[in-house]
Amino acid sequence: MNFDDTPQEAEFRAVARKWIAANAPKEFEEELSKSSLGRIRLAKHDMVEVGKAWQKKKAEGGWACLHWPREYGGRGATPIERVIWQQEEGVYGKLTQPFQIGEGMCGPTVMAWGSEDAKRRYLPKLASGEEIWCQLFSEPSAGSDVAGLRTRAEKKGDNWVVNGQKIWTSGAHYSDYGLLIARTDPNVPKHKGLTMFFLDMKSPGVEVRPIKQANGMQEFNEVYFTDVVIPDSQRLGAVGEGWSVSLTTLMNERMSIGSRLATGVPEMFEFCSNLMLEDGLAIDDPAVRSKLASWAVKASGLKYTSYRAISALSKGERPGPENSIGKLVSGLMLQDIATYAMDLEGAAGSLTGADEEQANGQFQQMLLSSPSMRIAGGTDEILRNIIAERVLGLPGDIRVDKDVPYNKIPTKGR
């Protein structure tokens, strides 16, 4: 048991560190280090543009999508090297946010199911950030039950014609391509009638509408499809095999361990170390200390759980669904921390004006944003089901629609 780099790892780290020191956009370092909790704010620059510039530079230097094969724009690096890179990239890693869905989910799906031509055409540009990808899975009536999706794709000659609506698509407004799952046969049970495609987001008939969220921001979109034509060459996997293909996508999401998971704990520790209460610093209050300690051990537990997964990965073992605990633990923790930080400020905790905000207003922002952390990418409840069924081996839910043809499944409760 050790944390030491092997000689090869140490050498890799040294090379990475040197390259970053010479090439990183240092003008953004301070601003990036201050923008915490996954919410990246650059006062005078467009995040996506700054991100693209950094991604391009990385690709030119051979530091983009490190674990991908070289012919597809990667470096052929080992899982451990990828983690070392992330550690060294530090705050600049926050600039990779627009590319994470492409790198973590869409790219690996194309890599596993795409033709050689498609891989050579699309993956290097995805890796270099020149083309951004989004994922078109969720629908208004297919969230946790994503296999119940309604968007239709119908075969017309060598093409497919798509009609329907997707929702909760991060980055659709700046994406060039999208990974789309659609229903190609409504006469068979729901999991069996799905097919996976990718499409040009600039295709005629694609309309992206931003969603105004509960926190007042607009990060997600609705995407409408009206007679959108997709060539059959952009199908991934066989017709009717879309569900299996989607599982590759979701499994790759779990492979992206060691990713930057915000817990709110360092921010809360600093906040309590500086907040003066009536009887002294918040951090000297036994009740505050008790809560802080419980959160701190959750955060360290998550960190070392990811180290265990990295170690398994480096030995060639596949990380399992047990990595589902990261988001499950951190989502609720962010919400609880935000609530408690504001509680410590008393009535003034609710204020969000620039003059009133303590700690940059980050806890107020976190409070309003954290509900989405517990829903996006698998709700807390779905994650608990995954742990219960795939880790603990408990029975699956009784699925009353399992063997029913999709078009016979009821669509209204009452």
Residues 327-366 touching another protein, rule: CB under 8 A, are 328-329
- Distance (Å, whole) CA 318 – CA 194: 27
Provide the pairing of β-strand 177-183 with 133-136: parallel
Q: Which of 261, 275, 283, 359 binds another protein (CB under 8 A)?
A: 283
> By CB under 8 A, is residue 19 in contact with another protein?
no
Report the residue from 22, 276, 347, 398 that binds another protein according to the rule CB under 8 A: 398
- Check residue 381 for interaction with another protein (CB under 8 A): yes
Q: What are phi and psi of 171, to 5 degrees?
A: 70, 10
Q: What residues between 249 and 278 interact with another protein by CB under 8 A?
A: 269, 273
**Residue 239: how many CB atoms within 10 A of its CB?**
16
Residue 273 has a CB neighbour count (10 Å cut-off) of 12
Least distance from another protein to the Cβ atom of residue 193, Å = 26
At closest approach, how far in Å is the CB of 148 from another protein? 18
Output the 3-class SS for 350-367: HCCCCCCCCHHHHHHHHH
Our finding on whether 293 is near another protein (CB under 8 A) is yes
Report the distance separating Cα 157 and Cα 371, nearest Å.
45
314 binds another protein (CB under 8 A): yes
Contacts of 348 (CB under 8 A, 6+ apart): 356
Check binding of 389 to another protein (CB under 8 A).
yes
Q: In terms of CB distance, is 71 or 270 closer to another protein?
A: 270
CB of 144 to another protein, least distance (A): 12
Stretch of 46-54, 139-147, 364-372, 384-392 contacting another protein, by CB under 8 A: 384-392
Instruction: Considering only the stretches 222-230, 248-256, 296-304, 405-413, report the one whose residues sit in contact with another protein under the rule CB under 8 A.
Output: 296-304
Size of the site for another protein (CB under 8 A): 50
- Here the tokens at position 164 are 């329907």
Residue 289 within binding range of another protein, rule CB under 8 A: yes
Binder to another protein among 222, 384, 404, 405 (CB under 8 A)?
Answer: 384
What letters, b where the CB count within 10 A reaches 16 and e where it falls short, cover 118-142? bbeebbbbbbbbebbbbbbbbbeeb
Cα–Cα distance between 324 and 387 in angstroms, integer? Answer: 7
By beta-carbon proximity to another protein, the closer residue of 231 and 301 is 301
311 near another protein (CB under 8 A): yes
Of 20, 65, 80, 255, the residue at the interface with another protein (CB under 8 A) is 80
| 219 binds another protein per the rule CB under 8 A | no
Count of CB atoms situated within 10 Å of the CB of 25: 15
Give 24-30's long-range contacts (Cβ < 8 A, gap of 24+): 24/54, 24/92, 25/50, 25/53, 25/54, 25/92, 25/95, 28/92, 28/95, 29/91, 29/92
Closer to another protein by CB, 10 or 21: give it.
Answer: 10
Query: Interhelix angle for 7-23 vs 47-61, to 10°?
Result: 130
Residue 111: other Cβ atoms inside 10 A: 20
- Which stretch in 94-102, 234-242, 301-309, 366-374 sits in contact with another protein by CB under 8 A? 301-309
Reduced to 3 states (helix: H, G, I; strand: E, B; else coil), residue 250 is helix
Task: By CB under 8 A, name the one of 10, 144, 218, 304 that touches another protein.
Answer: 304
From 253, 267, 357, 381, active-site residue:
253
Clarify whether 253 is annotated catalytic: yes
Catalytic machinery residues: 253
Binding interface with another protein (CB under 8 A) = 1-5, 9, 80, 269, 273, 283, 286, 289-290, 292-294, 296-298, 300-305, 307-308, 310-312, 314, 322, 325, 328-329, 381, 383-385, 387-389, 391-398
